[in-house]
Amino acid sequence: MRQLLSLLFVLFAVALHAQQHLPLYEGAIPNNKPIPGLRDSSVFYPRHGDTMEFVIRVATPDLTIYLPEKKNASGAAVIICPGGGYTVLAVRHEGHQIARRLQEEGIAAFVLKYRLPSPYMVDNKEVVPLQDAQRAIQLVRENAAKWDIDPRKIGILGSSAGGHLASTAGTHWQTAQIPNPKNTSLRPDFMILNYPVISFADSLTHYGSRFNLVGPALSKEEFARIMNDWKNSETAIRKIPVAAESIKKYSNELQVKSDTPPTFITAAVDDDVVKVENTLLFIAALQKNRAPVQSFLYAHGGHGYGMDNPTSEVDWMEACLGWLRERGIL
């Protein structure tokens, strides 16, 4: 009997701490093309001694919820947008690993599995990631009491292209891309940007991210031809013209205002994938508009290290947590 009770206790504890997956939408998903039988798809491969998961197709956007123990709960919440060039989602090292760290610190974390801007799956690819980010903010804010969250302490975190999405949520919040019958605020209370794509200007942008979000819709055959020649794919994408209006709209350093949320931003100076000038320009724009900003720059580390930069003993997450405490969020 004692062994049975112990087993039941263990099973109860496991169930209590199991992560909940919450679909973003009830019923029909806005902006989706009707494709029967479409399902999410992921690939796995080893990286730095670990197994990385990359979601390559999102049919059903959702949130994976990491709630802290009630005794440790700070009332703060962070919605996490993994990167991946708007081509894939690096959900493990730029999503769930960060969520677990925040959870340990008493922060409710929500990993956002957002739809990728594929013209073959959605009607308007340019707005679909922002729709999902705004819906995530809306859901968390409207369920704040249920999850012991302070609705005035809901932030958004993004890495790489996820950083572009997070900064878009923080600079384009005034225009709702989703139904909002309760007039719930879609403004993040703070932003955490990790080696983010910010600008879509030719001299600064990550061309893959820009093309995927706002580039013209190619035929499936033409797109496959470019992607199959992966060594020359970036050169080919660079040559595809993109509308100047879209470049300006989603160059988020140009969209900063005085009410842009307080921002913690970090990157490595030697990033050879997303130029560090993206980070520097956003810092300058925030300062110009007197929006609070705290920066943390590594000399080395390159791109895509997630939460742990192996070249440094200094932890950007510790600095970020200190910033959150200074601002009274923790």
Residue 259: which residues within 8 A CB-CB, separation 6 or more?
A: 187, 291
Residue 4: which residues within 8 A CB-CB, separation 6 or more?
A: none
Burial of 18 (0-12, 13-18, 19+ CB in 10 A): exposed
Query: Which amino acid does the sequence have at 274?
Result: V
Query: Which amino acid does the sequence have at 239?
Result: K
What 3-state DSSP class applies to 66?
strand
Q: In sequence order, what are the beta bridge partners of 315?
A: none
Domain spanning 19-326 has what CATH number?
A: 3.40.50.1820
Residue 93: which residues within 8 A CB-CB, separation 6 or more?
A: 47, 50, 52, 304, 306, 307
Q: How far apart are CA 37 and CA 250, in angstroms?
A: 33
pLDDT at 13: 39
Helix (H) or strand (E) holding 139: helix 128-142
Question: What's the pTM value of the predicted model, to 2 decimals?
Answer: 0.92
Q: How far apart are CA 279 and CA 268, in angstroms?
A: 10
Q: Would you list the domain boundaries of the chain?
A: 19-326
Q: In sequence order, what are the beta bridge partners of 156?
A: 79, 191
Show pLDDT as tens, one digit a residue, over the chain (330 residues): 444 444 333 333 333 345 799 999 999 999 999 998 889 999 987 766 677 899 999 999 999 999 999 999 999 999 999 999 999 999 999 999 999 999 999 999 999 999 999 999 999 999 999 999 999 999 999 999 999 999 999 999 999 999 999 999 999 999 999 999 999 999 999 999 999 999 999 999 999 999 999 999 998 898 888 878 877 888 899 999 999 999 999 999 999 999 999 999 999 999 999 999 999 999 999 999 999 999 999 999 999 999 999 999 999 999 999 999 999 999
Count other C-beta atoms under 10 Å from residue 276's C-beta: 18
